[in-house]
Amino acid sequence: MCGIAGFVSLTGRPADPQRLVRMVETLKHRGPDDQGYFTQGPAAIGAARLSIIDVAGGHQPLSIDAGAITVAQNGEIYNYVELREELARAGTRTTTACDTEVIAHLYAAEGVAGFRRLRGMFAVAIWDASRQRLVLARDRVGKKPLYYIEHRGEWLFGSETKAILSALDEVPPVNPAALLSFFTFGYVAGGDAIFQGMHRLEPGTALVIDTRSGASTVERVWSWPDGSVKDTRTEADVIEELRAELTEAVRIRLRSDVPLGAFLSGGMDSAAVLALMTNQSSRPVQTFTIGFGDPLYDELDEARSTAAAFGADHHEQIVTPDAVRVADALAVHYDEPFADASAIPTYYVAELARRHVTVCLTGDGGDELFAGYAPYADALARVGAPVIAVLRSVIGAGARLVPVHARGKGRLSTIGLGPVGWFVWRRTVFPDYLLDAIAEPDVISAATLPEREAANQIRAASGPLLSRLQRWDQRHYLPDDILVKVDRATMAHSLEARCPLLDHRVIELAAAQPASRHGDAQATKRLFKKAIAPWVPADVLTRPKRGFGVPLRRWFQEGLIGWARDILIDPRTRQRGWTKSNEVARLLQQHEQGSRDHAKRIWALVCLELWARQHVDRSQSGARACA
């Protein structure tokens, strides 16, 4: 696990080594063990390394063939052992035991197509000296981040936006379309980053930049299955294969030269991962969970019970979070605005785990692959006869006539939503009617309203409704919220997180199943439960889903509202031109009076402002934002 950064000139200007050092310096939290720098002609690649595999010999960037190919990567290639053996049989000699060298030789032999052979999580930068081209590649589902920008005759890239900002003379303007996405969902979604002109490399793609011609191309090396291929085997046969693939996915993710453990909630995903780790480990697995002393949100008892069932070496902590401190810390590490409050417990559990281990396996991805979220079943339950759809349309039209702050406006609006509209609404922070009230017109006019666009995408897709909802989450909510949350929270503490349920073989198997095998309006995660039933205690399969929740509403009631108000009415906040200050004040007032619960919206506005102070204001003043 590392942070990578660099740049390449299209004009032939020699790379400035000190500029590269500044970029890598911003990523030392991602890789505190070692830093490496490579410059050759117009190219510069650097890495801050968290040593996991071949601790002594895995220095990056790594060059092969007398410097013809140089590679830096952030991530882990879990099948590097098998690939290295295959390379050896073909006559290739490796000089280290690390996975980065395998990437270099595979690229030398197969080019961009070689990325299809990798089984893992990665963001890779390759300088191909013989062809004078820079190649950037990202793993299939977007577990590891990679940003880039074309700017004044050069391309710059980095694991985080702060690395790129450190190399620019000025901070690019904030992208209003990305800001609109944040207001709607609480995170920036899609290929465009929060800064104008800056982009995220899409998962499953490689960007090739030819410095001689100046041409750039994006090559897709993997796509999420579209559901067109369906598995016709019996369910029993599928379950047998799923168990085998899950077992293998965990097995190869136990490869490490440093201590590893597991995040543990009370749910079935982390329990299944723990079961497989225990079965393949010679000593008790170290597990980690945290709570906030609130029985409505804590899963301490359930996690403790699961850990005991597997004889785990369990660590838990009840934290009384200093929300002011943690909000400032999150603003540093989440260098695009991010308002999913479950980042708070993820940050704390990563901090706890890092005191004991360097790597943790997680259960992330199970709900998206196997239809575990309650909104899936709830949306299916809203499917009705055509006359119901007409009635909802009439109610929705009436709701639009109700003043935005009138009591009952939100409830009436949701009654008027069909299955798709309701599902997307559940994902929003500011639904359209509130977004239009609070965001400035320049922000609103920047793009199609994201809530409306998401609903249109789901309606236009093919296949059963459940499959369409899952595919939207897999391409939107999973890479841009869940995986961002986990990456930044763990990297803040130099902890590597591995997600075996998101192994691409597990993904492809799950996607090939008929929707009815996963769930319906009455049941969720049907296939997955059957697969793991022999491995986990029976009560794990029947526990209500909670995950890492946060009592935001209570925190605001207990005094945080004053802190939030001070931030949101500050002249700096009001002068940014993103929100209408009178509407923000009304939101605060309604929440304090108890007439509306705006906790998640207030949190989002606070997160946005703290992010701006850290990454816009400080960068503009020359004090680079770095951890």
183-225 pLDDT tens trace: 999 999 999 999 999 999 999 999 999 999 999 999 999 999 9
Question: 235-316+325-372+472-541: what fold?
Answer: Rossmann fold (3.40.50)
Nearby residues of 487 by Cβ (< 8 Å), 6 or more positions away: 143, 144, 145, 497
Residue 43 to residue 156: CA distance in whole angstroms: 10
Whole-model pTM: value is 0.95
Please identify which of the residues 2, 98, 499, 626 carries the catalytic annotation: 2
| Angle in degrees, CA 158, 163, 166, rounded to 5 | 140
Task: Spell 541-578 as b/e; 16+ CB within 10 A means b.
Answer: bebeeebbbbbbeebbeeebbeebbebbeeeebbeeeb
Q: Which residues of the chain have pLDDT under 50?
A: 622-627
445's tokens: 């006019």
Query: Is 2 a known active-site residue?
Result: yes
What would the pLDDT profile of 568-611 be if each residue is shown by its tens digit?
999 999 999 999 999 999 999 999 988 888 999 999 999 999 99
User: In this predicted structure, what is the pLDDT of residue 555?
Assistant: 84
What is the 8-class DSSP label of residue 372?
Answer: -
Residue 471 to residue 477: CA distance in whole angstroms: 10
Task: Enumerate long-range contacts of 66-69, CB under 8 Å, 24 or more apart.
Answer: 67/40, 67/129, 68/108, 68/128, 68/129, 68/130, 69/104, 69/107, 69/108, 69/126, 69/127, 69/128, 69/129, 69/130
39's tokens: 């410059």
DSSP reduced 3-state for 119: coil
User: In this predicted structure, what is the pLDDT of residue 1?
Assistant: 62
Cα separations in angstroms, 209 against 136, 206, 485: 9, 10, 29
DSSP reduced 3-state for 220: strand
User: In this predicted structure, what is the pLDDT of residue 565?
Assistant: 95
Residue 385 to residue 381: CA distance in whole angstroms: 12
**Which CATH number is associated with domain 2-220?**
3.60.20.10
User: In this predicted structure, what is the pLDDT of residue 549?
Assistant: 73
Question: Domain ranges in the chain?
Answer: 2-220, 235-316+325-372+472-541, 551-627
**How, if at all, do strands 260-263 and 286-291 pair?**
parallel
